Structure 1
């Protein structure tokens, strides 16, 4: 018997233009053995014909970050270049005896055709919501293994979650509490053991490994996971339903409380974003149709901390999350300047919501930016990492309706308000102390500076005990559960925290002591907001880019006050702030005639 080697294609595949507005391409992954070359066929289909397919959610680059298209696959006798991670997913999803119908962005969209890319991005909501299933490719099993069994810790975690979810549902069907599950008790024990003696079990090690996968960092996972009829995580040969992972997060966030929050801190800043995001990925339409737009503002905020190789995708990547967003967002156009896209979005939110909530995400980082200072730069994190819901607790504008107009070719935002005060004294540590990614040892000098500023005043304008004003300003008068005012019990927590800061211990010993406190996060969460004193004697938490030349404005429709920097006859927006004693409208003018037009560029 003779065997024949299939010739490797030497000509690159040429994409024929799509013929209809509702057309997409599907790939047929042809059957093959594990070692066989990948072979596919592409065909055009229309949504009106209700095609059957599964959609892949993955990262172009694998865990090594290699997103170069270094691999070739056979497509109808020609080659298409894909990344190593895409090829690994195809090999894992390929069947030995039948073809599989898939949609994969890197293959089904002509990546060299910018017009087609923009058009297909506009169809993402349909692509993922109409797929029979979304397959979430996490990569291969972890290299870290349980030293006793040799089993990869990622496999241990996924197996545990799968079995735990089945047991939970069985208990629920019998009217019993999930706390009776032995798997529940195991994760509770492991989490408490980790917190008490810093031991990491294989189970928690697997959780950390899974949450550090690059998939969680992608902007596109927002809609790919939310819109799916059914979603399945695929890690090597393991498959686990998305609903099982959701159940796991419910236990972690709702049942385990502060212990789980500390575990999230241990995992790292980026994974805290992932954990928070995943816990809330349970609504099929992320943004309701009311006019508040606050859920959409939150989505844009979350998107800042996720990765996108194309920064326009910080906006386009969440476009499909709600039908109500489509009229607000510009049509995806990858040839339009980023500054124009971001400005259009900010303007649309202002006009639709009649509130200033979109300004909470604006922060002056780069004076040479093409963006007006009032437009958030969604391509980078904010100078102050606070969820939009924090700002909604304040009422500096005393319930007033935002009065604004946009002019000057969308460069100028004019808002009615009042310049209330000026920055008098601000004492900063090294810039590293205020960066989101820095370790606790780097943050400590910033906290020490803030405490020095707060305690340097004998009398404050609020006529309240200076230590109480200090600790309330440090935590922006909020509890960890995001409520106001902060409970009086925080005074004791502050004294413990402050005594460590002013001790003569080495920085690493101070950091260890803070980590051991029962409630350390109540004051550390606002570490990016140094304290300053105003000319009128108020204590304020401000963006670390604030300078002594800046002023504080209360604006119509504003929740928090804002730091503004004078530039001729207008101002630059530095960011939102907290000023103790004015956060509930105490200084907002009763007489509308006292309001003035403030120009922000």
Structure 2
């Protein structure tokens, strides 16, 4: 078994002049100290299924590997000399969980110190000609150079008019096959650090290749181009590659912290669900995520994701990680995960509900910092604790009120067969239902003398409907909602026609339902909120949270089931905090 200061590298023996496709693959392994002065390249590829395997010779023994790895080894093998590479499938003993944990924790450093990463996107499709594939790559070169013909362009595309939509029809079809929607490399969790960390990378597509920096340059120029008929005609093919490349660039330039990275890339897949976390911890300095850094493959998914969430809270010095999506009862949902934990097993592509076709996944990520419900309070780190045995989170907070009206939730308005989508008309009907329920509630109640100086019920309803903010089409906040925005929200409900405020409405509704508290506070809370749940302000939490008293627990333990974040009009700027009242210790499940 390898130690923490060793790695295994693979010497890929030459084909010795034989036909590369026919010559058997032969390799030898070496155990070397790490870091090492020996130059080696790394491979980035999709494993493929364990049922689809072939044997190669490793140190004189027949060793089964996936056929996709065999394909990339043939592709990179040299004819006349050894090529030294590091590849996870052969350089880590996959049967030894202890070695695997040690080596996975080193992978960030391995990919950072490689001379080059070879990214394998697979063979060119049988229905695609080599010339069309080459033209597709040459077009990316053309785009990277500011749409100027450059010397060295392949003869295959020398006569192609890159400004002609018709001339590029087949090349762009070829390019589409290696983008996000069709090529699994872009959806694999491990490819993040494999492409981001190396100082240099080369993308291989069948017998063709293109340098990674060409894609980076093409992506940068692509987003800044004015309207262009060619770009417009083939935007989908370009978007499926270049938007992903831009995401890699953001991560490489450290524009994304661990929380943003986890949320942005959680749609990516991993054969082992634990690698949904382990697959990108190498992107951050040692000590950033201390609980999960050991890469313990003996942990349950629920425990790892909870540990990871606790690490994120401490790293961000914020409760934002628990204010994100709380997805329940999906096919991917992690069994037994505590409700406060970020479920990395669930992809936002398979969201529990969409509104007018949009999952609004980024709404809770981008709007959390718009509020300050905790006022001057901060997280009390002396009382913050994650208990790995019980998978609970201990912190402090202030109970505000109990919920007496909840819902109906948006799922009750799903009106497209065999989908989880609420149509625009369904949204309008839902808002009208909520308003009617609220109106009836306030008519039947004595006038509340609100402690929190809330506005009248209609004002609270319309402000709450948009979260009192206006967001742009990408769900990023533009500022506090104005009276004009509220008027637009009312107009949308009257006409059902999209306008400048509908993103704010849809983003909010995709995650929330109307709630009213015992003292008459009106807001919008998690879709899973129920009558009897409680509204809490957690110390340092910028939004109120809905918590549910645990059944059968004594009051002295203050164990509460986490339900989710909320907007409650009138207490979003610290109005509910009484600084002379000590915070209560609570345990979240």
For 2:446, the equivalent position in structure 1 comes to: none
Query: Quick check: 2:514–2:525 contact (8 Å CA) kept in 1?
Result: yes
Deviation of 1:106 (Å): 0.8
Query: Quick check: 2:470–2:478 contact (8 Å CA) kept in 1?
Result: yes
For 2:341, which of 362, 375, 385 is the aligned residue? Answer: 375
CA distance in 2 between partners of 1:426 and 1:344 (Å): 32
Matched, 1:44 2:31: yes
Deviation of 1:43 (Å): 2.0
Deviation of 1:432 (Å): 9.4
Query: Quick check: 2:463–2:486 contact (8 Å CA) kept in 1?
Result: no
Aligned pairs, number: 531
CA distance in 2 between partners of 1:414 and 1:355 (Å): 12
Query: Quick check: 1:40–1:75 contact (8 Å CA) kept in 2?
Result: yes
For 1:573, the equivalent position in structure 2 comes to: 562
For 2:432, which of 440, 449, 452 is the aligned residue? Answer: 452
Which SS does the other structure have where 1:211 is aligned?
A: coil
Deviation of 1:219 (Å): 1.2
For 1:118, which of 89, 101, 107 is the aligned residue? Answer: 101
CA distance in 2 between partners of 1:520 and 1:185 (Å): 39
Spell out, residue by residue over 1:72-101, the C-alpha distance to the aligned partner (whole angstroms, 9 max, x if none): 112233211111221222222223333322
CA distance in 2 between partners of 1:297 and 1:561 (Å): 20
Query: Quick check: 1:429–1:449 contact (8 Å CA) kept in 2?
Result: no
Matched, 1:462 2:444: no
1:141-160 aligned within 5 A:
141-142=124-125, 156-160=135-139
Query: Quick check: 2:415–2:421 contact (8 Å CA) kept in 1?
Result: no
Deviation of 1:421 (Å): 4.8
**Unmatched tracts of structure 1, length 5 or more:** 1-16, 172-182, 194-198, 289-293, 503-513
How large is the RMSD of aligned CA atoms in angstroms? 4.4
For 1:282, the equivalent position in structure 2 comes to: 249
1:462-481 aligned within 5 A:
462-463=455-456, 465=459, 468-469=462-463, 472-473=466-467, 477-480=470-473
CA distance in 2 between partners of 1:68 and 1:462 (Å): 63
CA distance in 2 between partners of 1:329 and 1:264 (Å): 42
For 1:322, which of 284, 288, 293 is the aligned residue? Answer: 284
Deviation of 1:378 (Å): 2.0
In structure 2, relative to structure 1, the CA distance for the partners of 1:255 and 1:492 (3 Å cut) is: farther
Spell out, residue by residue over 1:102-144, the C-alpha distance to the aligned partner (whole angstroms, 9 max, x if none): 1111111111111111111011012101111111111123466
Spell out, residue by residue over 1:195-224, the C-alpha distance to the aligned partner (whole angstroms, 9 max, x if none): xxxx99963883475122111111112211
For 2:113, which of 123, 130, 142 is the aligned residue? Answer: 130
Query: Quick check: 2:281–2:289 contact (8 Å CA) kept in 1?
Result: yes
For 1:396, the equivalent position in structure 2 comes to: 373
For 2:451, the equivalent position in structure 1 comes to: none
Which SS does the other structure have where 2:471 is aligned?
A: coil
For 1:101, the equivalent position in structure 2 comes to: 84
Between stretches 41-50 and 423-432, larger displacement belongs to: 423-432
Spell out, residue by residue over 1:330-351, the C-alpha distance to the aligned partner (whole angstroms, 9 max, x if none): 4112123333333333334444
1:165-176 aligned within 5 A:
165-167=144-146
Query: Quick check: 2:135–2:171 contact (8 Å CA) kept in 1?
Result: yes
1:117-266 aligned within 5 A:
117-142=100-125, 156-167=135-146, 203=172, 206-207=175-176, 209-212=178-181, 213-253=183-223
In structure 2, relative to structure 1, the CA distance for the partners of 1:418 and 1:549 (3 Å cut) is: closer
Between stretches 345-354 and 41-50, larger displacement belongs to: 345-354
In structure 2, relative to structure 1, the CA distance for the partners of 1:217 and 1:357 (3 Å cut) is: same
CA distance in 2 between partners of 1:82 and 1:415 (Å): 51
In structure 2, relative to structure 1, the CA distance for the partners of 1:309 and 1:597 (3 Å cut) is: same
CA distance in 1 between partners of 2:143 and 2:85 (Å): 30
In structure 2, relative to structure 1, the CA distance for the partners of 1:247 and 1:495 (3 Å cut) is: farther
CA distance in 1 between partners of 2:234 and 2:563 (Å): 30
For 1:340, the equivalent position in structure 2 comes to: 303
Deviation of 1:594 (Å): 6.3
Matched, 1:425 2:409: no
Query: TM-score, with normalisation over the residues of structure 1?
Result: 0.75
Spell out, residue by residue over 1:182-204, the C-alpha distance to the aligned partner (whole angstroms, 9 max, x if none): x9995xx97xx9xxxxx999638
Deviation of 1:491 (Å): 6.0
For 1:60, the equivalent position in structure 2 comes to: 47
For 1:177, the equivalent position in structure 2 comes to: none
Query: Quick check: 2:413–2:430 contact (8 Å CA) kept in 1?
Result: no
Query: TM-score, with normalisation over the residues of structure 2?
Result: 0.76
Spell out, residue by residue over 1:409-451, the C-alpha distance to the aligned partner (whole angstroms, 9 max, x if none): 552423222334525130135479499xx96855546524532
Spell out, residue by residue over 1:11-67, the C-alpha distance to the aligned partner (whole angstroms, 9 max, x if none): xxxxxx436723322232422522322222222222343111111111112xxxx34
**Unmatched tracts of structure 2, length 5 or more:** 151-159, 353-359, 443-453
Query: Quick check: 1:144–1:153 contact (8 Å CA) kept in 2?
Result: no
Matched, 1:415 2:384: no
CA distance in 1 between partners of 2:536 and 2:5 (Å): 48
Deviation of 1:476 (Å): 5.5
Which SS does the other structure have where 1:451 is aligned?
A: helix
CA distance in 2 between partners of 1:592 and 1:169 (Å): 68
Spell out, residue by residue over 1:146-200, the C-alpha distance to the aligned partner (whole angstroms, 9 max, x if none): xxxx6787655433112211346999xxxxxxxxxxx9995xx97xx9xxxxx99
CA distance in 2 between partners of 1:520 and 1:238 (Å): 46
For 1:75, the equivalent position in structure 2 comes to: 58
